[in-house]
Amino acid sequence: MDPSRWPSLDPELVPLVELLPDMADGLDDIDAAREMLAGFIPNDPPAAEDRVEMTEVPVGGTTVRIYRPRGVEGDLPGLLHIHGGGFALGSAEIDHPQSVGLADELQAVVATVDYRLAPEHPYPAGVDDCYAALELLAGWDGVDPTRIAVQGQSAGGALAAAVTLLARDRGGPRIHFQVLEIPVLDDRLDTPSMRAHVDTPLWSRPQAEQSWRYYLAGQEADQYAAPARAEDLSGLPPAYVLTCELDPLRDEGIRYAARLLEAGVSVELHSYPGAFHGTTMAQGSEIATRMMTERLAALTRALAPG
């Protein structure tokens, strides 16, 4: 891609963008997209893997992975980590290094779920799987049920926000904190950033349109499919919301954060200039490092005892 099309692009990200192909039609061939993404699974184990134990638990029609730091006694905070992928891609295996790192760095029990993917399993399959994983985590031996957070990136952000709404509305497990990173929230696709960013790196309007077609499969979206449609955001847990300037999802994340604030919910909002959807893949860059460091610090503060 030609980085000169985005004058505000962070200079450190220019070499990466030059290598990226135009992915506007990246979701059209699901099998090819899944195969390509699977190629990003590292061959070597994560650095902290020997400090973390993992258990796989079948739940409903899927599997939940539970990660716990080794040799740590007592009840630990819990984190439900939900992967992204446009509702149609991704897996717990691809996110394995991140889940290991979160369990080790936060000294928390981390649950990650292989939720069923669209288009084979449209809404509400993914939400149902993630909510079942939340219930499992909240009742897991060695988890402090008063210190549970939910985190999701991109489509995982939609699922994290949906699970948080469901927990409130069903009187389910008490979620203490929510992290919505570059979140998908609105199927109406009518924000200024969604209208403007039709060809941005890694994620653009055509991909967003296709992902919603897969996920909804002709259904009308409700607030648990598209959390931006929720009329009442009161009574939800504090939130950390991360958005990027050159991302079609930018404005729906900012609008949701503003509406949470209006509803009396405490929010920390970070909108990163010069960044695009998935900038954290630019490991070693100052902006990606800052994103990951600040997100981890917010979770650390939220999950601290007392």
Query: Is residue 154 annotated as a catalytic residue, yes or no?
Result: yes
**pLDDT per position as a tens digit, 152-174:** 999 999 999 999 999 999 999 99
How many domains would you assign to the chain?
Answer: 1
When pLDDT is averaged across residues 254-277 and rounded to a whole number, the result is 98
Q: Determine contact, residues 255/191, Cβ cutoff 8 Å.
A: yes
Reported confidence tier of residue 38, pLDDT bands at 50, 70, 90? confident
* Residue 247 designated active-site: yes
Q: For residue 160, how far is the Cα from the chain centroid? A: 7
Model confidence pLDDT, tens digit, residues 141-156:
999 999 999 999 999 9
User: What's the average model confidence in pLDDT over 290-301?
Assistant: 97
* Domain range enclosing 273: 3-302
pLDDT at 243 > cutoff 90: yes
Q: Assign residue 85 the CATH number of its domain.
A: 3.40.50.1820
Asked if 81 is an active-site residue, the reply is no
Residue from 99, 247, 251, 285 carrying the catalytic annotation: 247
Is 183:250 a contact under the CB 8 Å cutoff? no
Select which of 91, 251, 277, 285 is catalytic.
Answer: 277
Is the confidence at residue 286, as pLDDT, over 90?
yes
Which pLDDT band holds residue 63 (cuts at 50, 70, 90)? Answer: very high
